[in-house]
Amino acid sequence: MIYSTVPMAGPHSALSVIAQAIKALYGAAEEINEYLDKHIEEMRSSENPTIARTGRVLEMAKYGFGIGYITPVIVIAVGQLLLGNPLSAAVTVVTAATFTNPIAMTCAAIGAIYYGWGALTEVERSEILDKLSNGLEVGIELIKSIVHFIVDKTKELLSSKNIEEMKKFIAAAAATFGKTLGDVTHKITDVVSDSFGAFRKKSGVAVDRTVDLASDAYVTVKETAGKVADQTRTKIKRIKTNTSNSSDKGASVKRKSK
């Protein structure tokens, strides 16, 4: 058992800046440690396998590191930064009002860590680690250990189908901050899918008109092709007729010469 050297959240304890932002983001009315315990239990009890197993991953991290609410806060904070949330007060208030499903938010955060952490450059990872270390008042090595734990346990406990389903949560959460799934995962397939989806969304209003235009064009081409074909057949008939007439004239001349 690893015993905590970090004070648990209590009535008189002061939460770090980012922990306060997470609490506001989730709309937690009670103490954050109590809230997160209930949140994890709710996830683990879900009938959705992806949600239930993601809750199990978060639970293992919370009790495995033995430092209370700090671990899930770190997990959620890392994920939120990867999703595009700067965890500033103003953005937190707006996000809490527009993205009110805590379970979906946690699935998105853990999914973002699984897909997005390894896709970052060393510089990008260092920036996130520095921000979290200062904002949460914890060491960088602890944050890195928790991140690697989440990636490993997600791979271990969730099926490939579960992990793929996480992309839906990531996409919905990232959109709140003006980002796309591809921005988080950096996978070429997701980037292409985002582009195609954006194109369909933007061109959706004109789709019917485009189909009509395409149909009109097809009819026009078909009619033109028909006319050309008729003209060609007429010319061929004329050539055949002229050739036949020339042949008949030639034969007549030969007979006369004899």
Provide the residue ranges of all domains of the chain, joining segments of one domain with +. Answer: 17-186, 188-258
Contacts of 61 (CB under 8 A, 6+ apart): 71, 72, 75, 146, 149, 150, 153
Q: At which residue do the structure tokens 């060609």 appear?
A: 232
Query: What pTM value is reported for the model?
Result: 0.70
pLDDT digits (tens, 9 = 90+) for 209-235: 433 444 444 444 445 445 555 555 565
* pLDDT tens, position by position, 24-49: 888 888 899 999 999 999 999 999 99
Distance CA 116, CA 120 (A): 7
**Over the stretch 105-156, which tens digit does the pLDDT of each residue have?**
999 999 999 999 999 999 999 999 999 999 998 999 999 999 999 999 999 9
Q: How far apart are CA 71 and CA 228, in angstroms?
A: 76
Nearest-5° Cα angle at 169, 165 to 171: 105
